[in-house]
Amino acid sequence: MKREDIRYLKGIGPKRQKLLNRLGIYTVKDLLYYFPSRYEDRRNIRKIKELRENDVALVVAKVLARNLRPLKFRAPFRGGIKNTIFEVAVEDDTGVLMCVWFNQGYLNDYIKVGDDIVIYGKVRRYKKRLQMVSPEFDIIDKNDKSSSGVGKIVSFYRLTEGVTQKMIRGVIKFSLDNFARKIEDPLPYHIRESSNLPNIYYSLRNIHFPDSLDSVAISRRRFIFEELFFSQVLVYLRKAQYRLKRSIPFIDKDGFIPQFKKSLPFLLTSSQEQVIKEIVDDLTKPYPMHRLLQGDVGSGKTVVASFAIALAVINNCQVAFMVPTEVLVHQHVTTLRELFRGFGFRIKSLTSSLTRREKEKVYSDLSNSQIDIVVGTHALIEEEVGFSRLGLVVIDEQHKFGVAQRALLPKKAKDYIPHCLVMSATPIPRSLALSLYGDLDFSVIKELPPGRKQPKTIWVEEDKREWVYNFLREKLNEGRQAYIVYPVIDEANTSDLRSLTEMYEVTEKRLSGFKVGVFHGRMKSGEKKKVICEFRENKINVLISTTVIEVGVNIENATVMVVENPERFGLAQLHQLRGRIRRSVYEPYFILISKPNIGDNARRRLKIITKTTDGFKISEEDLKLRGPGDFFGSLQWGFPQLRIASPMKDLALLREARRVAYDLIKRDPFLREPYNRCIREHIDFWLRRR
């Protein structure tokens, strides 16, 4: 079946077409691949008389009476909110059941006395009577009783405003009846056979309109496999394609690397040595490196990157080093200048806070080969930026950039593809990394430089604040410095920032005799620089900051970090924050001051962070707590989002899909064999689904 636009479907005019487009549905195939998000088993209808408290039940009944009224409730804020309660009494041949909905007055237009209705929900007790609160419901169409799904397993779809379950079920049903048989199975027979998967027609029918719960499971398994399989086919195809692209091979001229190694103020860890070898090896190839360097906070990724950077420069290439914040730009520039002292490399920074004039100077210097290394923020991907000979792209803290942003920088090279090194301090389990980062190769720094101390993590509730401040004062008296991190979630929100300022005033009083400073993302660039500089020189003893401090800032004497409301932070973020304070010879302390009544999930997070310091373990726990969707959303690397598969839960299937994809591409690297044509054709469809 070719791409058939949904507008040719019966019952779909321009208006519905637009609505469906909003759900990402453009073609009949998109529609058929728009899978239900959940199912309801409506085969078991319960009688009202038999309902017991806490049952989750399906009832078919008639609407007896309904009533919409305001709720007596004094809202805690000015003006209050209009609260309503909508009560509906329904009846079957055994009794009456009350249903209530809060603040959904519009239901008054939907549910009418005399309607036949399907109700699904949990039975609760309220003042001795049984009722359902905000149950799901469907009005049974008098002309089409079968549409209610009573007696069937009913699928539910993710909707957008203006689209109803009924409508989407209708168009899917129509497409299934008229087109599904014409769809070519994207999985060839030999793969279905060996992995024990049903064909496309059976699977489409049963994922949308299942005969049994088993057939749902079988069909879902097929589509999960299919999704993982195609993601892996893409991985291997892209890898094969990279090999065909041209980039500039870097040669270690005149034994530069050993010389550079010798010039370092410390010995590399063996882990660093290992990954440097992997990277340098890649760089000698005439096709682009595409490597992810993972290493816990403080494991020394920058110095590893500096080997690649240096190699690029001595091979007459330019390097673009992109980092997420301005503070980091300046820090990296300082670090690189230090590391490359005496080598004569020309290093410049580029951030949006430069004046127009300054920027233009950088632009022209870059295109006239007057700069070897440019370190910058997003400003690097602006259109005006051009290079004369960009040979290497380094992206630090890559999870802070969107997929599109990350992809833009390498495109700035001219006749060839630059080598690309991305760095991340968010470690993910290897098997998952393989599937999610797909076409990247991996290097992992497994150890920290010697002498690093794991911070002592102490979690207290607010009533211990006095103790915390006494402790702080003690450490400050010993000459150490401290961060106090405050959870300003939205730095654009002025009232959030105001509370940061209040925090500052209170702290200044509490820690009289010490100099307290403030740092946040909305400060002017000059101010930021000044504050960080003063903190570095210990002219500021305590820095109150938002989480902008989280990324890579490196100040050795700051050994205490107090985090206010840590329950509002994610695990990865807490781990990153903690990484800021283990760089010194002094004992570091990480102190969390939480509210007393925090949720279960937050409590678990704080427990984990208190107990473990291993970044990989923390990420795994994070994955479990947050669920993969959320976690991976920010990690995806240029691949279509997985919709039905979840790499964490479907790990076994992922392994199998990976193996099958590998065998396939090994045997037929460009998918030219006629029996693999169906795979090739499905890839277009798959790629469109970003």
Burial 436-457 (b: 16+ CB within 10 A, else e): bbbbbeebbbbebbeebeebeb
CB of 298 to ligand ADP, least distance (A): 5
CB of 336 to ligand ADP, least distance (A): 11
Q: Which one, 86 or 307, has the nearer CB to Mg ion?
A: 307
Identified binder of ligand ADP from the candidate list 169, 192, 205, 301, rule CB under 6 A = 301
What residues contact residue 620 under an 8 Å CB cut-off, 6+ apart? 429
State whether the Cα torsion 215-218-223-224 is positive or negative. Answer: positive
Do β-strands 419-424 and 441-445 pair in parallel, antiparallel, or remain unpaired?
unpaired
* Interface region with Mg ion, contact rule CB under 5 A, candidates 341-349, 441-449, 552-560, 604-612: 552-560
434-437 LR contacts (CB < 8 Å, sep 24+)? 434/658, 435/228, 435/231, 435/232, 435/235, 435/647, 435/654, 435/658, 436/632, 436/635, 436/636, 436/637, 436/639, 436/647, 437/292, 437/635, 437/637
State whether the Cα torsion 138-143-145-146 is positive or negative. Answer: negative
Q: Which one, 275 or 390, has the nearer CB to ligand ADP?
A: 275
**Per rule CB under 6 A, count of chain residues that contact ligand ADP:** 18
> Measured at CB, which residue is nearest to Mg ion?
552
* Interface region with ligand ADP, contact rule CB under 6 A, candidates 105-113, 260-268, 632-640, 667-675: 260-268
| x/- track of binding to ligand ADP for residues 174-203 (CB under 6 A) | ------------------------------
Q: Which one, 438 or 552, has the nearer CB to Mg ion?
A: 552
CB of 401 to ligand ADP, least distance (A): 16
| x/- track of binding to ligand ADP for residues 385-424 (CB under 6 A) | ----------------------------------------
CA atoms within 13 A of residue 685's CA, in its CB half-sphere: 26
Place of tokens 């200048």: 337
Which residues, listed in sequence order, are joined to residue 661 by a DSSP beta bridge?
Answer: none
269 binds ligand ADP (CB under 6 A): yes
Largest CA distance in the chain: 93
CB atoms within 10 A of CB 690: 12
Taking the C-alpha atoms of residue 391 and residue 282, their distance in angstroms, rounded to an integer, is 13
Q: Which one, 68 or 268, has the nearer CB to ligand ADP?
A: 268
527-534 LR contacts (CB < 8 Å, sep 24+)? 528/326, 528/327, 529/330, 532/327, 532/330
Do β-strands 318-322 and 136-139 pair in parallel, antiparallel, or remain unpaired?
unpaired
Taking the C-alpha atoms of residue 631 and residue 563, their distance in angstroms, rounded to an integer, is 23
* Interface region with Mg ion, contact rule CB under 5 A, candidates 137-145, 338-346, 547-555, 579-587: 547-555
CB of 339 to ligand ADP, least distance (A): 8
Identified binder of ligand ADP from the candidate list 191, 303, 323, 485, rule CB under 6 A = 303
Q: Which one, 231 or 331, has the nearer CB to ligand ADP?
A: 331
Confirm if 301 and 295 have CB atoms less than 8 A apart: yes
Taking the C-alpha atoms of residue 554 and residue 549, their distance in angstroms, rounded to an integer, is 9
Taking the C-alpha atoms of residue 528 and residue 544, their distance in angstroms, rounded to an integer, is 13
Q: Which one, 219 or 545, has the nearer CB to Mg ion?
A: 545
299 binds ligand ADP (CB under 6 A): yes
Q: Which one, 131 or 576, has the nearer CB to ligand ADP?
A: 576
* Interface region with ligand ADP, contact rule CB under 6 A, candidates 198-206, 251-259, 267-275, 374-382: 267-275
Q: Name residues contacting ligand ADP, limited to 471-490 (CB under 6 A).
A: none
Do β-strands 84-91 and 96-102 pair in parallel, antiparallel, or remain unpaired?
antiparallel
What is the 3-state composition of the chain as percent helix, strand, coil, each rounded to the nearest 5?
45, 20, 35
Q: How many residues are present in the chain?
A: 690
* Interface region with ligand ADP, contact rule CB under 6 A, candidates 101-109, 167-175, 296-304, 639-647: 296-304
272 binds ligand ADP (CB under 6 A): yes
> Measured at CB, which residue is nearest to ligand ADP?
300
Confirm if 105 and 86 have CB atoms less than 8 A apart: yes
Task: Report the run of H or E that residue 147 belongs to, with start and end.
Answer: none
Residue 269 binds which entry of Mg ion, ligand ADP, none, CB below 5-8 Å type-dependent: ligand ADP
CB of 306 to ligand ADP, least distance (A): 9
* Interface region with ligand ADP, contact rule CB under 6 A, candidates 116-124, 264-272, 499-507, 675-683: 264-272
Residue 297 binds which entry of ligand ADP, Mg ion, none, CB below 5-8 Å type-dependent: ligand ADP
CB atoms within 10 A of CB 163: 18
* Integer angstrom CA distances of residue 87 from 95, 135, 200, 246, 448: 17, 12, 45, 69, 62
Residue 299 binds which entry of ligand ADP, Mg ion, none, CB below 5-8 Å type-dependent: ligand ADP
| x/- track of binding to ligand ADP for residues 582-611 (CB under 6 A) | -x----------------------------
CB of 450 to ligand ADP, least distance (A): 6
Residue 147 binds which entry of ligand ADP, Mg ion, none, CB below 5-8 Å type-dependent: none
Identified binder of Mg ion from the candidate list 295, 391, 552, 615, rule CB under 5 A = 552
Q: Which one, 397 or 622, has the nearer CB to Mg ion?
A: 397
Taking the C-alpha atoms of residue 570 and residue 643, their distance in angstroms, rounded to an integer, is 24
* Interface region with ligand ADP, contact rule CB under 6 A, candidates 11-19, 297-305, 378-386, 453-461: 297-305
266 binds ligand ADP (CB under 6 A): yes
554 binds ligand ADP (CB under 6 A): yes
449 binds ligand ADP (CB under 6 A): yes
Comparing C-alpha atoms, which of 184, 64, 32, 58 is closest to residue 121? 58
552 binds ligand ADP (CB under 6 A): yes
Binding site for ligand ADP (CB under 6 A): 266-269, 272, 295, 297-303, 425, 449, 552, 554, 583
Contacts with Mg ion by CB under 5 A lie at 552
